[in-house]
Structure 1
Amino acid sequence: MSMQELKQKAWIYLENGTFLEANSFGANGTVVGEIVFNVSMSGYQEIMSDPSYAGQFVTFTAPEIGNVGVNAEDMESSAAHAKGMIVRKYQERYSNFRAEGSLADFLKEQNVMGICDIDTRYITKMLRTEGAMMMIASTEVSDKAELKKILETSPRIEDVNYIEQVSTKVSYKHTQSVYNDREFKYDEAPTPQANIVVLDFGVKTNILNELVAANIGVEVIPSSFDGDELVRRYNAKEIDGVFLSNGPGDPLVLKNEQREIKKLIDAKVPMFGICLGHQLLSIAHGYDTYKLKFGHHGGNQPVKNIKTGLVEITAQNHNYNVPENITEVAEVTHVNLFDNTIEGLKYNDAPIFSVQHHPESSPGPKESRYIFNEFLSLIKR
């Protein structure tokens, strides 16, 4: 069966009134989500399996998607969490020695929509001008008025606590690591120089790998954690610090998490946060986040390290940012050179620091991996 025969018609309606017709190569159905664009030139499987994309349709600016297939090793979590992907051209005929199947089959297995044969340049320019917005895509409904009605009566991304969907339900130890950019599993985990708890708001696998590679013992726990219990464990020297992971959605929705993190701050537990973790630390300190117009999504974002003066090319995936007045309680350590937004903080009166970008990459450049070793240095001090 040809690729054309495998495709079905798909219809898209955006909340600004844009109505588009395309083809579908993934799961069928009718799905509502927020649409964003990602400028990475590779790594579509890692992006689709990143829990931070829960609730979103990802428009890829790379014109050819699917050409390297998919494989189990490139998963950043146990499933694909994005609502769907939108691409200019889907390539069913993949060619890569690591490939274990096609992207289309993967999306169908994961019940994720794939939309192709559409002008992604037009969509990206529109989002850049008007900002990220809600949309609906369907292989079942072609009527514009009906799609509009469904979209208007559906919850917005800021109304949903996606953390509850993507966080682990049980605690577990993580011992897999990275070595010379090749993943491996220890037969027996090495003796760590420090032990931490990872608060799982939607953590990527490669973040855990990098923590272990920095000689840190990793225990991952659900987002429904008890701050008092973690403070007790820290005072009893059962753990040396806490890591706050990346994750999806609006951080202002996470009231319980904010309250429990505040207990850790008050107890001066050493902490390190990435992306959503970075934002939650800001909110718990009393500084609410705000939403960027279209967010930062991709693997080519220049960030300046204020301490060294060096520019790091970073991987990014966030729609929200910490406010400028957080300098009342923290020192800015990193700045995004595209828009001068804050990318890193070191808090003044506690052993806490955080970054907005993704030092673990996957996909993306690896220039910021040193940050995991800085966390080890912090908790050893």
Structure 2
Amino acid sequence: MKAYVYLENGIFLNAKAFGASGTFLGELVFNTSLTGYQEIISDPSYAGQFIVFSMPEIGIVGTNDDDNESEEIFASGIVIRELNNYFSNFRAKESLQTYLKKHNKIGIYDIDTRFLVKMIRDNGNLRAIISTEISNKEELKEKLNLSAKFDQINFVKNVSTKKIYSHKNGAWNHNTKKFNPSQKNSKKLAVIDYGVKKNILNELVEVGFEVDVFPYNTKAKDLIALYEQKKIHGVFLSNGPGEPKILKDEILEIKKLVKAKIPILGICLGHQLLSNAFGYETYKMKFGQHGANHPVLNLENKKIEITAQNHNYNVPEELCEVAIITHRNLFGDNVEGVRYKDYPIISVQHHPESSSGPHESKYIFKEFMNLM
């Protein structure tokens, strides 16, 4: 299929499409990972975005049933240079094209992704419209101009679970590694699902947590009651998509959890929401940080960790007034992790669950267990 691309800066491009047909809107971001495209595509934190892969050839390992980070794809679509529809991997069940079509998402290829990555790098993230139906530039421009701005959309309510459930699978071998209720020193953890990745849940189980996942709009009073009854021992604030500052109700509930001195771990969006709950507003980065190869300096042991990243927003330097800065990103010197001074709370911007990505930061889950 032919595809037509219009960007908010006026650039109009032609490409070829695979997967679903139709007209799709989103924000254009680039990802520098060399592997793990299925985990990236299925990460709920990409809701409302087109993922531009800087890796030039995508598709060779196909897709499988185990590597999805969520049951649905919430990203608007993907943009790649070269599609390899022949897949060759012993775990593969279907091609990338079949995978996207099944989830009703578009992919486009035969487009200069290096040009797009450099443009995003220089100009920042761009809103885009991609269509297999509309070829007229002015019509595409009008539809894009009439669409909601990315920073004004609450994506969290769409990606979060609608009901409480227990997660028992551990890391990697999903069929055999499960939570054992008789496991010594286990702790019960309430996970607030703002768009949580399955592999985060797996790693929490792996270190010994008994995990229950709650909807994004769970009230703090209900969690505080569970904590006082020792039915939970802490709260995890998950990753997720979109502008954190518009989640005013969620921030208000987090403030109540903080006041109750409940142990909390935040990752990515959870990290940002904690900053806002303490009164330190997050800000939008020029083009965000998306990839599995970002060096982060652990300021406590002076070691460099190679991390997976996926965020457009960050916490301010002024957060050091209430928290000790524990990690810094060496690509931009921005704050990557904190430990709050007067509360049992730690949070990080990067993804220590390591899928897709390295393993150097997985200790954070054990650190949270020890904090409890």
TM-score normalised by the shorter chain: which range applies? over 0.9
Whether the 8 Å contact between 2:164 and 2:214 is mirrored in structure 1 is yes
Counterpart of 1:264 in 2: which secondary structure? helix
Alignment of 1:104-119 (within 5 A): 104-119=97-112
Which of 204, 207, 210 does residue 211 from structure 1 map onto? 204
Alignment of 1:209-248 (within 5 A): 209-248=202-241
- Tell me which moved more, 228-237 or 197-206: 228-237
- 1:5 corresponding residue in structure 2: none
Q: Give the CA deviation at 1:239.
A: 0.8
1:191 pairs with 2:221 = no
Q: Partners in 2 of 1:191 and 1:124 — Cα distance?
A: 50
Matched to 2:229, the amino acid is A
Task: Return the alpha-carbon distance in structure 2 between the equivalents of residues 248 and 339 of structure 1.
Answer: 21
Give the % identical residues: 54
Contact 1:33 1:156 survives alignment (8 Å): no
**Counterpart in 2 of 1:284?**
277
Question: SS of the residue aligned with 1:41?
Answer: coil
One-letter amino acid of the structure 1 residue matched with residue 338 of structure 2:
L
Letter of the 1:294 partner, please give it: F
Write the distance in 2 (CA, Å) between the matches of 1:286 and 1:187: 39
Distance (whole Å) between structure 2 residues aligned to residue 331 and residue 352 of structure 1: 11
Q: Per-residue displacement from partner, 1:238-270 (whole Å, max 9, x unpaired)?
A: 111000000000001111100100000011110
Alpha-carbon offset, residue 188 of structure 1:
6.5
How many residue pairs match? The answer is 370
**Which residues of 2 match residues 126-141 of structure 1 at below 5 A?**
126-141=119-134
Query: Please, which runs of 5 or more residues in structure 1 have no aligned partner?
Result: 1-7
Q: Does residue 331 of the first structure (1) align with residue 331 of the second (2)?
A: no
Answer whether contact 2:244 2:273 (CA < 8 A) is retained. yes
**C-alpha displacement at 1:275, in angstroms?**
0.1
Superposed, 1:255-274 pairs within 5 Å as: 255-274=248-267
Which one-letter code corresponds to 2:200 in the other structure? I
C-alpha separation in 2, matches of 1:174 and 1:375: 18
> Corresponding residue for 1:252?
245
Residue aligned with 2:10, SS: coil
The 5 Å alignment of 1:362-373 reads 362-373=355-366
Question: 2: distance between equivalents of 1:252 and 1:187?
Answer: 36
TM-superposition CA deviations, 1:96-142 (whole Å, max 9, x none): 11110110011011011100000000000000000001100000001
Q: Which of residues 23, 29, 52 in structure 2 aligns to 1:30? A: 23
User: Do 1:9 and 1:21's aligned partners in 2 also have CA atoms closer than 8 Å?
Assistant: yes
Structure 1 CA distance for aligned equivalents of residues 86 and 189 of structure 2: 44
Paired residue for 2:344? 351
Greater CA drift, 153-162 or 183-192 = 183-192
Q: Is the 8 A contact 1:175 1:185 kept in 2?
A: no
TM-score, normalised to structure 2, is: 0.98
The Cα of 1:302 is off from its aligned counterpart by 0.2
Q: 1:10 — aligned with what?
A: 3
Tell me the equivalent position of 1:182: 173
Q: Which residue of 1 aligns with 2:64?
A: 71
1:160-179 to structure 2, matched below 5 A, reads 160-178=153-171
Which secondary structure does the structure 1 equivalent of 2:327 belong to?
Answer: strand
Counterpart residue identity of residue 226, structure 1: K
Query: Cα distance, 1:187 vs. partner?
Result: 6.5
TM-aligned CA deviation for residue 81 of structure 1? 1.4
1:61 aligns with 2:68: no
1:185 deviates by: 4.0
Cα shift at 1:190:
3.6
Asked if residue 95 in structure 1 is aligned to residue 88 in structure 2, the reply is yes
Where does residue 268 of structure 2 map in the other structure? Answer: 275
In 2: Cα distance, 1:291 partner to 1:92 partner: 36
Work out the CA distance in 2 between the residues paired with 1:239 and 1:107. 38
Q: Is the 1:279–1:322 contact (alpha carbons within 8 Å) kept by the matching residues of 2?
A: yes
C-alpha distance in 2, partners of 1:210/1:152?
Answer: 42
Deviations 1:332-356 (A, max 9, x none): 0000001100000100110001000
Q: Equivalent residue of 2:19, what SS?
A: coil
Local SS of the residue matching 1:25: strand
TM-score (norm. length: structure 1):
0.96
| 2:79 partner letter | I
For residues 50 and 252 of structure 1, the distance between their equivalents in structure 2, rounded to whole angstroms, comes to: 21
The residue type equivalent to 1:370 in the other structure is Y
Q: What is the CA-CA distance between 1:159 and the residue it aligns to?
A: 1.3
Q: Determine whether 1:125 maps to 2:118.
A: yes
* Structure 1 vs Structure 2 CA RMSD: 1.0
The structure-2 alpha-carbon separation of the partners of 1:37 and 1:188, relative to structure 1 and needing over 3 Å to count, comes to closer
Inter-partner Cα distance in structure 1 for 2:126 and 2:369: 39
**Separation (CA, whole Å) in 2 of partners of 1:189 and 1:202:** 25
**Contact 1:15 1:133 survives alignment (8 Å):** yes
Question: CA shift at 1:189, angstroms?
Answer: 2.8
- Contact 1:32–1:136 (8 Å) recurs in 2: yes
CA shift for structure 1 position 183: 3.4
Native 8 Å contact 1:330 1:345 kept in 2: yes
